[in-house]
Amino acid sequence: MRGWLLWMLALLALPSWAAHGLGMGYEPKYPASFTHFDYVNPSAPKGGDLTLSAAGGFDKLNPFTLRGVPPVGMGYSANGFVFSEYGLLFDSLTTPSEDEPFSQYGLLAEDIQLAPDRLSVTFRLNPKARFSDGSPVLAQDVKYSFDTLRSKAAGPTFRSYWADIKEAVVTGERTIRFDFVRQNAELHMIIGGLPVFSRAWGKGKPFDQIVTEPPIASGPYVVDKVDYGKFISYRRRPDYWAANLPVRKGMFNYDTVSYQYFKDALGEEESLKAGALDAMEERSIIAWVRRYKGRRFDSGELVKEEIDHRRFTGMQGLAPNLRQPRFADMRVRRALALAFDFDWLNAHLFYGRRGRTQSYFQNSDDLMAQPVISAEEQALIDKLKNRQRYIDNTKGELPRPDSSGDTADGLRRNLVKAQALLKDAGWTYRDGALRDKAGAPFVITIDIADRSSNVVLAPYARNLGKLGIRLEYRLRDPSLLKKKLDDFDFDMAISLVGGSSSPGNELYDDFGSKSASEKGSQNLSGISDPVVDEIVEVIVNSHDRASLAAAARLLDRYLLHQHYMTPMYYGKQYFIAHKRKLRRPDAPLPQRLLAGSAMLTMWWIDPSAK
């Protein structure tokens, strides 16, 4: 009894702390008295209409359910957060800064209090917070949002992301506590990203039956006009409750934001040149160099900007479906990677403006695996339950993508290696094709959403053909493609995983064994490995940046050694064409922030420009 009492007294002596903001293992950059983020223009004028483009189509206004495709601009999808954009409709409890690795500052929440035992966090809501229908944002709405997004009525990503949260408990009209199953170094921060919506949304309908009803949320915009699959516009709320908060100063400056949908990128380009669009981010370097020309560019009405960046990009690659036995063989995966000739693509298609992806944490210097294992990493390896499996599966040099040097000899050398690996795996060339022991030919199908991928996949198909492998790539409707990926009904997919400057709970969904079988997860490859699961746990429970970084390097090294994906490339510049009326802050673009997101949320229209 005496020991229990001493333990309780010691626990009570631990500090619980309240804050305006939190940093992951460090003191946040911005003090409680800050007036705005450094990378915005706090005096940016409000007004004007911004028209942008989007690809494909959409068929619903509820971004959180699994079935269907939501419009761009909402910031969320059934697969969780759309990290490439800010949401225009939904405010969250906290919001990140873009010039720190991982810091969160109060938005709906004006105060954040972490319990002494780190097993719960309490948020106190700002009494000024209002939904778009004028009703106050209350703790019951926050609980409703959390419970709903973690239910089967919503997509699976949030359930995975918040798996260590036991429950949400309303403790007052504007206070809510989240209780944790166990200590988790970042959980009190990531739950701050919970998108909050009103209990009145849908008027009592089951959540998965809310399809066309516009969300009732507390963000800066509301849905204005909708033409399903073709057009959507958002209107800025003149009564937006957070407009003058430090975390929103200088942001969301347009009166309306509209998206016109197109079936292919060429239609978007032509609309920009015709003056129907105000801006467009171009992802095809070929198009940027060759086609962004003409009268409006010559006159200065349209401006081309190349914005250099070194953003954390994660692993963009070709992901074979490991659920298929042929791809479960690492020799096959290595052979497929050897046929991807990045050097040729970069020299002939990308004008030397792409970099080769070499890490699942590309451009996060302290997270990327290095050739030599550090002392901190070795200490973590020694503590792993699956230590021997880790050692056995990471023997040899750290894998790096093979280079052809953009020479015929270099490509031939890589294909000879690939041929030997495939033969060793039991594949033989006969009757004009590479075949397995049963005589079935090696055929791979990749479904794509637009034709811009053709120029990359055509050379890859040509190289695979030299090995006897037939690669077929087919244009699919975006909604059908999404369903096929959600159901893991594919051979190989273009995938992007990782990319966070402070990895944590999202890794469960990216790489966890449980997510490999959960439809709609981000684990497209189907990675299911106890070593990966254990290292993810180490990362999630790291309490400082140094230990987190060491564990991330451990994970990166292991994933690279398994050759789960064929690394592709990453961009080193953003290419944006826009009308000259658009202005952007003088401050450099933060490393975390996408240029398209900055344009949407931090640029403005110069009222004096013509």
The burial class, CB within 10 Å (0-12 / 13-18 / 19+), for 607 is exposed
Instruction: Give every residue of the chain whose pLDDT is below 70, as ranges.
Output: 1-18, 76-86, 610
Strand-strand pairing, 470-475 and 443-448: parallel
d(CA 259, CA 73): 8
Sketch out the chain's domains with CATH numbers: 315-571 (3.10.105.10)
DSSP three-state, residue 464: helix
Contact in structure between 162 and 504 (CB atoms under 8 Å): no
d(CA 540, CA 293): 48
Contact in structure between 197 and 213 (CB atoms under 8 Å): no
And the tokens for 157?
A: 């990503």
Q: Which of 208, 317, 322, 268 is nearest to 576 (CA)?
A: 268
The burial class, CB within 10 Å (0-12 / 13-18 / 19+), for 182 is exposed
Q: What string of H, E and C letters represents the secondary structure of 292-339?
A: CCCHHHHHCCEEEEEEECCCCCCEEEEEECCCCHHHHCHHHHHHHHHC
DSSP three-state, residue 64: coil
**pTM exceeds cut of 0.85:** no
Bridge partners (DSSP) of residue 136 are 130
Strand-strand pairing, 21-23 and 103-106: antiparallel
**H or E stretch including 595?**
helix 595-601
d(CA 86, CA 26): 25
pLDDT at 315: 93
Distances (CA, A) of 184 to 117, 120, 379, 537: 11, 10, 21, 9
And the tokens for 569?
A: 């490339």
Q: Which DSSP string corresponds to 500-559?
A: -SS--THHHHHH-TGGGGSTT-S--S----HHHHHHHHHHHT--SHHHHHHHHHHHHHHH
pLDDT at 83: 39
Q: Strand runs (DSSP E) across 248-337, as ranges?
A: 256-262, 279-282, 302-308, 315-320
Q: Specify the amino acid at residue 563.
A: H
pLDDT at 86: 67
Contact in structure between 123 and 112 (CB atoms under 8 Å): yes
Dihedral (CA of 596, 600, 601, 602) sign:
positive
Contact in structure between 442 and 432 (CB atoms under 8 Å): no
d(CA 65, CA 156): 9
Contacts of 119 (CB under 8 A, 6+ apart): 179, 180, 182, 183
d(CA 251, CA 338): 45
d(CA 549, CA 319): 25
Residues in the chain: 610
d(CA 402, CA 342): 9
d(CA 520, CA 4): 46
d(CA 354, CA 346): 6
Contacts of 300 (CB under 8 A, 6+ apart): 580
Q: Specify the amino acid at residue 444.
A: I
pLDDT at 76: 60
The burial class, CB within 10 Å (0-12 / 13-18 / 19+), for 396 is exposed
Distances (CA, A) of 282 to 21, 279, 397, 413, 559: 35, 10, 37, 34, 31
pLDDT at 480: 87
And the tokens for 76?
A: 């969320």
Q: Which of 458, 495, 497 is nearest to 339 (CA)?
A: 458
pLDDT at 12: 34
Q: Which of 97, 123, 128 is nearest to 243 (CA)?
A: 128
pLDDT at 283: 85
